[in-house]
Structure 1
Amino acid sequence: MRDTTANEVSRIDTQVLAGRYRLLNPLAEGGMGTVWLAADEMLRRDVAVKEVRLPPDLPPLQRQDVFAAALREANLAARLKHPSIITIHDVVVEDDRPWIVMELLTGESLERTVTERRPLPPIQAARVGVGILSALVAAHAAGVLHRDVKPGNIFLTRTGKAVLTDFGIAVAEGDATSGQTSRLIGSPNYIAPERLRGERGGPYSDLWSLGATLYFAVEGVPPHPAETPISALSKVLTEPPRPPGLAGALGPVLMRMLDPLPVARPSFEEVAEALKEIALDRPAAAFPAPADLPGPSPAASTGPGRTFPPGRPARRDPGPRRGRALLWAAAEVAAVAAVIGATAAVVNLTGDRPAEAVPVRLSEKPGAFATPVDLCALLPAERVKQLLPALTGAGKPTNKGGCEWTTSGKGLSVQPAGSDGQWGKSPRQAHELFVNQRNAAIPNGQIAWSWPEISAGSRSARSTGPVAVRSAGEESFGYDVYENRRTGRLEQTYVTLRVDNLVVEVGYTVVDGTKDGPAIQSGARTAATWVAEALNKQKAAG
């Protein structure tokens, strides 16, 4: 992008946007524009204004795409309210361009602080991590993935607060990105390996990026130092992180966050607890390296910290070194494909997910559930009453081979997944069905549903993408459904789980407003655990 000339500054600094925001002087130059100090003459306060500027010879369609992306960034950030997320005050369209009005922060970016001064002590870096991790949790809860967590997008204020900025390439639930070609813009040093391979990624990808950012904060270099973006991309995909030398107690936490396997990364809760202890200069609990995990490839995970239940067959132990060496070797193939055609600033990758790896030792023979299971018999009414206190009878079979328990305003359902329920098929085939169900659970903002038996009329809703669910079957994931109109509250949570050769979906619905979001999520996951326990008992009984 061209520099702002003295004449341009002289001309622009007298400009008033929307009759109230007077541009004063430029504060910083970015990849797509300039951030200005401005005076809000209506509220009599100083603000920051992000100007989106492009070369005049850029084709009209590309200009429209960039401006649409800027408006999208503002809309995403404006819906997030958190002390460690930049506050968006207003969006102004002037001269056929968007101008984003933000809170004015005083301080410096983490990148500039470390580069121009020195790396942060581990305690200070942990404090930065606590704030940004909390911001990411808030963003993810609102259905937003940041996708560009890096030192340049973390601002350290003079009061000591860390603030997450720049949602320019974030994605929200409902975005139609699957199957489309997309561009990863930014430094590959801070992009999670699964996203460099072309996957959409998830909260666990933001966690990896935060780990890389905190690594830079204490070490002064990224975890995969390289001279060029192409070299960095190759190293992230094919090499382990450089062992930290200055991180102290923070080192084990960072190495877990930077695990190339999404399923091997710790949960957000585990990281938050460790960072809080380090930030308080207290000895953190041991943060062990993960065992050599059985199961899917890095592309197969659905969320941060996902673990496999104890009942999963263990593969022959190749030793942790050999296991990791196999991972790096496999990643080299992806690296070769990714590097071809890449440039120093932009990496072109497809958004399609790679083929799913089948967990080790899944049988091809018919599984334990060779005939249809009476799903109503899995949950006695007395147990279901814990979730539906007004229930007066047993569950009722559905025309799809499932079962449902209903009261006014609340409902619980257990349905076989897939068109034929996978009755009598093998665990391997059931795993493939499970993967298909999970891949189909993409964020969607255009859902219409009704359930007359619980007094739920026709409703407009939006669903989240898949999230990890622990201790429910041999594989499991969940997703939530929020009301689009009026309250925007969570009304349904679904958990899909696999036990042997059977895949079922458990749903808990509350539309009468008597349960908040966490209670609905907890109810669905509790019911899924009950179902998994009942199926395992049937399996053991033969």
Structure 2
Amino acid sequence: MIGARRLAGRYRLLNPLGEGGSGTVWLATDDMLGRDVAIKEVRLGPGLDESRRRELCEAAVREANVAARLRHPSIVTVHDVLIEDGRPWLVMELLSGSSLEEMVRERGPLPPHQIARAGVHILAALAVAHAAGVVHRDIKPSNIFLTRTGRAVLTDFGIAAVEGEAAQDRTLHLVGAPAFIAPERLRGEPDGPAGDLWSLAATLYYGVEGVPPHQGRTPVETLRNVVAEPPRPPVRAGPLGSVLIDMLATDPAARPSLRDVAPRLRELTVKRPGTPAFVAPPSTPAPAPSVPAQARRPAVSPRRRTLLTATGMIATLAAIMAGTVVTTNALAADPSPAQSTPTPTRLSEKPGKFGIPVQFCKLLTAEQIKQLLPEAKDLEGKPTNQGGCEWTSPGMAVFIEPVPVFGEPEGVKDQYGTSPRRAHERFLNERNTTIPNGTIVWSWDDIGAERRSARSTGPEPVTGIGEEAFAYHIYDNRSHMKLERSQVVFRVENLVVEAAYTVIDGKRDEKAIRQGAMTLAGWTATALNRMG
């Protein structure tokens, strides 16, 4: 049985996630570390001579080495590279979401503030890569992955240029999507960080406009237009358009630097009044791939994000690398005006009062925890890997933890010392990427919750908790859609927090679960407000 095959004695192939011209992508389990991974099986075409096969294997190893030396939340993590049966296998982190290319193809152009947000994330990733002497050289919509949590991830370093390395034979071949190759590369000039900036601008342009900035009837005509013609004036981008046009300057010396572009994009990441909401067209979700009940993802909190897979969402960065796309529903539409919470005014740009990490396990009393979890034995709580705290008992659990800052170097830690304005932007990002009516599969061993299918709701406005808040809920698909979890996301000053109440097997009715989450969030917000 192919699904039982093991690589290197530790990676168990479960089922294929996608297949393209360059190979197959597998969902796999790393039995040694107990985590799910994505494995790209690189396909070597028939009839290749030994030297060409060796070249392709070396290229795969090189890609892994380049990616492995870079550490950033918006850069794909490569865990391992193997050579088995004479072909390479790349072991990578498993992400849920979809590529920007598929997002636009399935739903149409995205709102400017969402594209600006993705741009901020990728700029941060490029800053890390360029500082390490690595130029990506192949930024395009299919290599920008938008995760379920709103994080944009840069993938596929297969043709990256590393400073100080000898020129490779691959530089003799023009590689990349014609509309996204920087003009200096097409002219045969040395390409550096400015080329990545141009390709990123062309990619963001595609995301907000639905078409690349240069088009032609043939690939050759497109290449000619990139070199000789100005970009098509954007019509949907609003203020984002002027930033993209500056980044698309034909002369690399005329383009702004990454440092100059980042604050301009950051200012555009909040939806402006009057901006039309992005509405996704109806679609029929594809069945979710099978994931064994014992499969776990330690890198993702089993409390805050228990998503092992999702209907229409279990796409991986490796699927992009394989030249294929898996149908996904990664970014939800912006809430309608009726769903939206009021936007606070006059938010401070100065650092807020939470300058050091909060000890969440000390925010609640034992009496409060006992009220929500009567059978809990550990009333002091256990720290979570996101810097929060969880309390569990058979069939029930609560947790509170800060919402991580994806696209920032230190994730959760980068919340502390930021401003209320930045926290408000983070709150909006979390609300706008909460998927309405998405099917998920989750498990939580500590409370006896084996693998189960559930359906999540979209965001609902909440008042009276923190300075702004919303809630969403997860219902069991198996038995009359019983509510199993209620979660409240709220902001206090410069901190965005998620509080959740999970109850399985009918131990509480829907009203009690919803009220439990609201009570938990209210206690937490009150405790945070009392802090100096």
With normalisation by structure 1, the TM-score equals 0.49
Task: Tell which structure's C-alpha radius of gyration is larger.
Answer: 1
With normalisation by structure 2, the TM-score equals 0.50
